[in-house]
Amino acid sequence: MKSFKRLLSLLLVISMVLSLAGCKKATETNNSTLFKPGKYIGEGKGINGTVKVEVTVTEDEITDIKVLEHNETPGVSDLAINDLPLQIIEAQGLGIDTVAGATMSSNAILEAVGQALEKAGANIEALKEKTAGKDSPSATVTEKQADVVVIGGGGAGLAAAVSAHQNGASVIVLEKMPRVGGNTMISGASYNAVDPKRQEAQGIEDSVDKHFQQTYEGGDKLGNPELIRILVDNAYPTIEWLESMGMEFKDTLHTVLGGLWPRAHAPVEPLGTGFINTYMNYIKENNTEMEVLVNTEATELIMENNKVIGVKAKSPDGELILKSNNGVIIATGGFAGNVEMRDEYNKNWPSLTNLKTTNHPGATGDGLAMAKAIGANLIDMEQIQLLPMGDPNTGSLSGNIEQGVENRIFVNKSGNRFVDEGARRDVMTKALFEQENSFMWVILDSHSYPTGDVRNHFNESIDELVTEGRAYKADTLEDLAKQIGINPENLVEAVNKFNSCVETGKTDEFGRTLYQFKIDTAPFYAGARVPTVHHTMGGIQINTSAQVLDNNGKVIPGLYAAGEVTGGIHGTNRLGGNALADISVFGKIAGENAAKNNQ
């Protein structure tokens, strides 16, 4: 019995010793350092190449993050580049939401910081669970008032805001995304307008009537002729309006994909930054009478006595009630980014469920839903435009190597041409769907890129695209064909036939009539493209004053709309280059009329 007691006591002692040792080990583990102090470099893959960061850590804290190198798109990626490092430091972790509209840039930063912290010996999975703390939204309701409230901070909304202020109104702009710009910011920014001075310098004959006819017939005569006439008559005066505020356009005009004529103006600043910067510079100069609220989502139009008098919205700080003295302008863009909605209305294409889009993430049709809820009439909703120019991985227009319609051809996976490359966008896209894997190559030569640092319409140099594997370069067509895996003989024959038509000026077998240079001067280039959802021609019905009409064709007092959220202008097919003209012209008209509204 005594022996048993001695054994039991010994076991208890051993158990206590082991327990103490375990506690000591646990304590040591909990007090262990999180990082090996120092500075570490990490890299991540962004939309335009590598993003490189430097992360500084102490034993238990991330103290600094610097973005050393990146080629991300100006304006689009700014919030990710500037804000994400601060959020990571605040959270002391990697469980940070990506910035809406800059997802790939955000992921690149998170990947780069994660790689750097891994070098510092961090537990990456544990860091991914740490998120930036946010105060819960206030339960209070904040009220604001202005003469004009604009829903949407893209090109149409900002044009309307500036125009309204120029006509004497105080203005509040609501933008649900973390930044202004919308689709305008990431567009190729080609703007169609008949411009005698610039066009005559290039030997281009044009007229406003021709622009009208091509727009009307290009949409199969479904567009409202009165709205189209407003568009083409005011396209160039609106360019002059933009120039009066400091915006600059290049002197040389071009034919944009599906534009049908060389009347497209290219801004000096890349992408759509010229438009957005012009408007925002004006707004900043007049900030006592103009306010822009980002991260603020409009949810409902406020009606009183059958008139729109304001907007309900939500922000990180709680609910907002925005009262308008004169009018509310809807400029929220289309619904190409809303898969469910485009599937609901699509009648003209194969399933759009799995197609990517060129649009920014905010293009989800919110304005259409708000307008419909108060009886606004929606027209042409089934008219959804696809482009044959999507990036195979993202659906975006970035990486598109073409510089103008006249100087490139499309070939399929066999190396054969299959369509008139100067045709309407729907014609080209339908032809692309009939090719193997709905896939094509854009082929051009050094006429488009005299040097490797020449940039496309998305501010990407051809050398950068080749380095990143998004374009291919060769000194011969045969070598180019081998690089991209197509039949060399077919490619050479396709180019030779094209060059023959350039020489003779004759219409080719596909009906092509737009030519400028032969494809005959090395280096030769190729870029891959697929169909992508681009523009929704349907939307809110408006009159020539940009007033919203109800289901009975009557004006809804106090409500205006402009831009892609509207329908009735482009018919079945929008001409390339007409969107920037549309949003600018009708944004300006909506702002002016809303400012003067006395209904």
Residue 73, pLDDT score: 65
CB 195 within 8 A of CB 265: yes
Looking at the predicted structure, is the pLDDT value of residue 304 above 80? Answer: yes
Computed over every residue of the chain, the mean pLDDT equals: 91
Compare 363 and 5 and report the one with higher pLDDT. Answer: 363
Q: Smallest Cα–Cα separation from 75: which of 151, 150, 155, 149? A: 155
Whole-number Å distance between alpha carbons of 36 and 23: 24
Whole-number Å distance between alpha carbons of 192 and 266: 9
Q: Smallest Cα–Cα separation from 361: which of 393, 334, 381? A: 334
CB 89 within 8 A of CB 66: no
DSSP classification of residue 568? S
Amino acid at 371: A
The domains found in the chain, sorted by start residue, are 38-128 (3.90.1010.20), 141-383+537-596 (3.50.50.60), 386-532 (3.90.700.10)
Looking at the predicted structure, is the pLDDT value of residue 138 above 80? Answer: no
Active-site residue, from 263, 342, 425, 529: 425
Looking at the predicted structure, is the pLDDT value of residue 19 above 60? Answer: no
Looking at the predicted structure, is the pLDDT value of residue 11 above 80? Answer: no
CA angle 346, 351, 353 (to 5 degrees): 95
**What are the residues whose beta carbons fall under 8 Å from the beta carbon of 308, sequence distance 6 or more?**
301, 302, 324, 327, 328, 374, 556, 557, 558, 559
The single residue listed with the structure tokens 């822009």 is 292
Burial of 505 (0-12, 13-18, 19+ CB in 10 A): exposed
Which tokens in the block code for residue 303? Answer: 């009606």
pLDDT, tens digit, 9 for 90 and up, residues 244-264: 999 999 999 999 999 999 999
Region 217-229 average pLDDT: 97
Looking at the predicted structure, is the pLDDT value of residue 134 above 50? Answer: no
Whole-number Å distance between alpha carbons of 499 and 79: 46
Q: Supply φ then ψ for residue 250, to 5 degrees.
A: -70, 155
Amino acid at 305: N
Region 319-335 average pLDDT: 97
Whole-number Å distance between alpha carbons of 30 and 28: 6
- Look at phi and psi of residue 575 and say left if phi exceeds 0, alpha if psi is from -120 to 50, else beta: beta
The single residue listed with the structure tokens 């707004």 is 283
Which tokens in the block code for residue 507? Answer: 């219409």
Residue 466, pLDDT score: 97
CB 155 within 8 A of CB 334: no
Cα end-to-end distance, the chain, whole Å = 104
Whole-number Å distance between alpha carbons of 35 and 270: 41
> Packing angle between helix 103-119 and helix 78-91, nearest 10 degrees?
40
Q: Smallest Cα–Cα separation from 258: which of 397, 149, 128? A: 397
Q: 3-state SS of the chain: helix, strand, coil percent to 5?
A: 35, 25, 40
Whole-number Å distance between alpha carbons of 411 and 435: 10
Region 327-342 average pLDDT: 96
Residue 75 has a CB neighbour count (10 Å cut-off) of: 24
Which tokens in the block code for residue 143? Answer: 């009220």
pLDDT, tens digit, 9 for 90 and up, residues 403-442: 989 999 999 999 999 999 999 999 999 999 999 999 999 9
What percent of the chain is modeled with pLDDT above 70?
92
Residue 497, pLDDT score: 96
Region 113-124 average pLDDT: 92
Looking at the predicted structure, is the pLDDT value of residue 290 above 90? Answer: yes
The single residue listed with the structure tokens 């990143």 is 468
198 catalytic residue (yes or no): no
**What H or E segment, with its residue span, contains residue 25?**
helix 2-30
Looking at the predicted structure, is the pLDDT value of residue 46 above 90? Answer: no
**SS3 of 74-96:** CCCCHHHHHHHHHHHHHHCCCCC
Tell whether the torsion through CA atoms of 581, 583, 589 and 591 is positive or negative. negative
Whole-number Å distance between alpha carbons of 507 and 486: 26
Average the pLDDT over each of 11-20, 260-269, 313-322, 494-503 and give the range with the smallest value. Answer: 11-20
For 161-175, letters b (16+ CB in 10 Å) and e give: bbbbbbbebbbbbbb
Q: Smallest Cα–Cα separation from 562: which of 392, 393, 345, 367? A: 367
pLDDT tier for residue 98 given thresholds of 50, 70 and 90: confident
Residue 80, pLDDT score: 82
Q: Supply φ then ψ for residue 378, to 5 degrees.
A: -105, 130
pLDDT tier for residue 10 given thresholds of 50, 70 and 90: very low
CB 66 within 8 A of CB 54: yes
